[in-house]
């Protein structure tokens, strides 16, 4: 809620006006949408659910906010529900990108009770539907069939969803922000660096390292072009709009591979990766909060232009 208030404040200072509709369940959401008037909606949620702990795929297919907005012909920021559903489902994202010729790790989605595939080690095991590194720790990197079995079991037992087993990418991590569409579109790359004192056995972002200021975004340097190229192809294949972020790492040969694409990237001023990347590329003399307002205005203005709203 604090982040939502910061976003509204930034919009209000840009000469446009924003109001917050606070809702705590589906009835409240429908009531707000049907009784108030909005030119453009910006949802902080993918779908409405009683479960606050994890994202998951929603209790019902009809609960996706973008579908609810489409039904009411209300313009909104971000991709449509079909894309959001693909982005939340890491295997679905991989499959779409693979088909489009965008490099992704080899991957297997494993349901409870399903036989384990014969794979190359080391591999990486994570929940199929999560965010903020939920379910990721040093045991996520597996080197033997026994470790694979144990970690797949850990995901099934604790997260009530399929496990995703994929190629372990040992190289440097990057993230690229897609900002705006058409004439407003920019791809802004960054290299993800971590306080080395926090790393355990592997150079990965564990759950306990997220949201605590452990990561810093630095220039992507000579990888800028390759990471932008992979992201531009991925965003097109997935039909992404307005403000979407692709995360990637280098494989053992130094090739860029996309690990996931985020449909609602974090916007906490000025700690989230989006504001950090924006400042890296567009630092103003007035400081990071001014950059933050410019970032928010870019997203809103680009979405308004896409809908032809003056
Ligand atoms: N195949 C992989 N090889 C190596 N490290 C990986 C792999 N997949 C994920 N990781 C590590 O785990 C972290 C979280 O993974 P990922 O980005 O897929 O999940 P997430 O929880 O959805 O993250 P986000 O908070 O960005 O939405 C990555 O930032 C990376 O450090
Ligand atoms: Mg990620």
Q: Give the whole-angstrom CA distance, residue 21 versus residue 171.
A: 42
Residue 153 near residue 112 (C-beta atoms within 8 A):
no
Bond prior to 122 in cis (omega within 30° of 0): yes
Whole-prediction pTM value?
0.96
Q: Residue 144, SS3?
A: coil
Q: Give the whole-angstrom CA distance, residue 78 versus residue 94.
A: 20
Q: What is the largest CA-CA distance in the chain?
A: 59
Query: If pLDDT is split at 50, 70 and 90, which confidence band does 270 have?
Result: very high
Average pLDDT over the chain reads 95
Q: Give the whole-angstrom CA distance, residue 107 versus residue 109.
A: 7
**Pocket around ligand 1: residues whose beta carbon is below 6 Å from it?**
105, 124, 126, 130-134, 136, 166-169, 173, 204-205, 247, 249, 259-260, 262
Report the pLDDT value the prediction gives residue 82, as an integer from 0 to 100: 95
- Shortest-distance ligand to the CA of residue 91: 1
Give the number of the atom of ligand 1 that is nearest the alpha carbon of residue 170: 4
Closest CA to 176 of 164, 189, 165: 189
Whether 54 shows a pLDDT value over 80: the answer reads no
Report the pLDDT value the prediction gives residue 309, as an integer from 0 to 100: 94
- Shortest-distance ligand to the CA of residue 174: 1
Query: If pLDDT is split at 50, 70 and 90, which confidence band does 59 have?
Result: low
Residue 78 near residue 84 (C-beta atoms within 8 A):
yes
Domains of the chain, with CATH numbers? 2-83 (no CATH), 107-167 (3.30.1490), 170-307 (3.30.470.20)
Query: If pLDDT is split at 50, 70 and 90, which confidence band does 310 have?
Result: confident
């Amino acid at each position: 809620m604090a982040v939502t208030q910061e976003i509204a404040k930034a919009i209000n200072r840009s000469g446009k006006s924003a109001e917050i509709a606070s809702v705590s369940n589906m009835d409240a959401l429908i009531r707000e949408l049907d009784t108030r008037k909005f030119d453009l909606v910006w949802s902080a949620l993918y779908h409405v659910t009683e479960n606050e702990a994890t994202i998951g795929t929603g209790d019902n297919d009809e609960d996706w906010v973008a579908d609810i907005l489409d039904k009411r012909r209300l313009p909104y920021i971000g991709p449509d529900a079909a894309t959001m559903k693909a982005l939340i489902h890491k295997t679905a994202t991989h499959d779409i990108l693979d088909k489009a010729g965008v490099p992704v790790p080899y991957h297997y989605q494993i349901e409870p009770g399903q036989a384990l595939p014969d794979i190359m080690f080391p591999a990486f095991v994570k929940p199929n539907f999560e965010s903020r590194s939920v379910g990721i720790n040093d045991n996520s990197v597996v080197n033997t069939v026994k470790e694979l079995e144990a970690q797949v079991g850990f995901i099934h037992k604790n997260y009530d969803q399929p496990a995703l087993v994929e190629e372990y990418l040992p190289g440097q991590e990057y993230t690229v922000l897609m900002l705006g569409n058409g004439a407003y579109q920019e791809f802004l790359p960054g290299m993800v660096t971590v306080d080395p004192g926090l790393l355990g056995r592997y150079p990965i972002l564990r759950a306990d390292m997220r949201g605590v200021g452990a990561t810093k975004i630095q220039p992507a340097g000579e990888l800028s072009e390759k990471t932008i190229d992979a992201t531009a192809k991925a965003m097109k294949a997935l039909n992404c709009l307005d403000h979407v972020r692709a995360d990637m790492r280098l494989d053992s040969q130094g090739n860029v591979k996309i690990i996931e694409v985020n449909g609602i990237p974090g916007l906490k001023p000025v700690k989230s990766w989006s504001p950090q990347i924006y400042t890296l590329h567009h630092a103003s003399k007035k400081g990071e909060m001014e950059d933050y307002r410019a970032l928010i205005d870019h997203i809103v203005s680009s979405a308004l232009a896409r809908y032809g709203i003056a």
